[in-house]
Amino acid sequence: MLRGILICPDVDLNERLDTVLHDIGIVTIMRTLDHYPNSLELLRFLRAHAPQVIFVSTESTTKALEIAREVERNTPGIQVVAVSRFVDPQILLEVMRAGIREFTSLPFDRSTLTETLLRIKGALEERPPEIEATDQVFSFLPSKAGVGTSTIALNASIAMSRLPNTNVLLTDFDLNSGMVRFMLKLDNTYCVTDAAEHSLDMDESLWPSMVTTLDKLDVLHAGKLNPDFRVEPTQIRHLMEFMRRNYGALCFDLSGNLERYSLEIMHESKRIFLVCTPEIPSLHLAREKYVYLKQLDLADRVCVLLNRCQKRPLITPQQIEQLLGLPVHMTFPNDYQGVQRALTFGRWVESSTDLGKQFTLLAQSMLQNNQMMLAGDSKKKFIEFFSVVPGKAVAREKSVG
């Protein structure tokens, strides 16, 4: 089924067209507008519904042609059909000059309209719509509970939202023990599970009630403890498609339990940040999860964020890289007081602190397209700390933090 939008101030006309289209069954009308939208409103509709065909009435030929031009400028490939109560040669000439190749009018003949829709379907196969969607998708995966993944995900998202021309969404997908709602003292009753349940009919009017806006960051929290809720892969795909069309960058705070929906998110991610601390249990589980992600062909997206580092560590980042066989993308100092102060006030770590500056650097690196630099060999062996010895570490790329 094709996805369609109907723009028609003439209520009787749009109801009659909607009825015929429903009977034919080739296109589903996702949204009907009883007015001509302005450019910004139209763009929101396009991002929310990702239509393949737009039916627009020529009650105002000028406004109809403006919409056609805006559609072609913002989302090339979407098919536009002009709709009218009667055939007017002058209107036909104007819409053809504007590049609109399909026209329908009363009475809507079912066979003729079916032929029109089949032509549109063929045109869409040759030239699919180019609806802008971001590829800046990042997952934050803890090696184990308590390593500070939510703190890093939250503060990196805040820092990223402060960068020019970057609208960011942070989503807490830890349905077992999501912390973002508590950390920011959010009181929004809607959460991830509500968004998942409405993923198929999510639109620009429903979405604002789902998220909380803090400064320039939108947050979708995990809600109350709900371990029995099952998120279906189709829900994740529809929800992520909506998010990618409406934000410049997406950050996902995952539970670390490797649920099916978490794996779906990681498969859509540009980078998977595996968060750990320089402690034996955390590093052991980090390696176990990395080995598992390698089996899913996700290894090239994974890099390590090393949290709570001391100035004189017993285990160096270089040793950790050799152990895990993947780069330490960035390290973060242990600032217990700064993190606790942020939690007390329901805020984020001050950007002027050493830890806050690292979050800013992380945000900047996340949006850079520079290739990672090759990691060097470690001088000391550290594998003997673990009972299971992995195979020879593969040379990986390392970014400059």
CATH number for the domain including 345? 3.40.50.300
245 shares a domain with 379: yes
355 shares a domain with 235: yes
Closest CA to 116 of 24, 3, 8: 24
Which residues are paired to 83 by β-bridges?
A: 57, 104
114 shares a domain with 63: yes
Among 74, 94, 126, which residue terminates a domain?
126
Per the domain annotation, does 378 fall within a domain? Answer: yes
Decide if 366 contacts 140 (C-beta within 8 A): no
280 shares a domain with 233: yes
190 shares a domain with 107: no
149 shares a domain with 21: no
Among 75, 101, 126, which residue terminates a domain?
126
Decide if 312 contacts 368 (C-beta within 8 A): no
Decide if 197 contacts 278 (C-beta within 8 A): no
d(CA 55, CA 46): 13
192 shares a domain with 61: no
Diameter over CA atoms, the chain: 84
146 shares a domain with 109: no
104 shares a domain with 150: no
Per the domain annotation, does 362 fall within a domain? Answer: yes
pTM comes to: 0.79
286 shares a domain with 226: yes
Per the domain annotation, does 154 fall within a domain? Answer: yes
Instruction: Say how many domains are in the chain.
Output: 2
Among 65, 92, 126, which residue terminates a domain?
126
pLDDT digit string (tens) for the chain, length 401 residues? 999 999 999 999 999 999 999 999 999 999 999 999 999 899 888 988 899 999 999 999 999 999 999 999 989 999 999 999 998 899 999 999 988 999 999 999 999 999 999 999 999 999 999 888 999 999 999 999 999 999 999 999 999 999 988 999 999 999 988 999 999 999 999 999 999 999 988 988 899 999 999 989 999 999 988 777 788 888 999 999 999 999 999 999 999 999 999 999 999 999 999 999 999 999 999 999 999 999 999 999 999 999 999 888 788 888 999 989 898 999 999 999 999 999 999 999 999 999 999 999 999 999 885 333 333 333 344 444 444 433 333 333 333 33
390 shares a domain with 348: yes
> Around 18, how many Cα atoms within 13 Å sit in the side-chain half-sphere?
16
What CATH number is given to the structural domain containing 75?
3.40.50.2300
pLDDT per residue as tens digits for the range 68-87 = 999 999 899 999 999 999 98
Listing DSSP states for 349-392 in one string gives: --TTSHHHHHHHHHHHHHT--PPPEEPPPPSS--GGGSSSPPSP
Per the domain annotation, does 131 fall within a domain? Answer: no
203 shares a domain with 60: no
- Give me the torsion for CA of 57, 60, 61, 67, rounded to 10°: -70
Domain that holds residue 112: 2-126
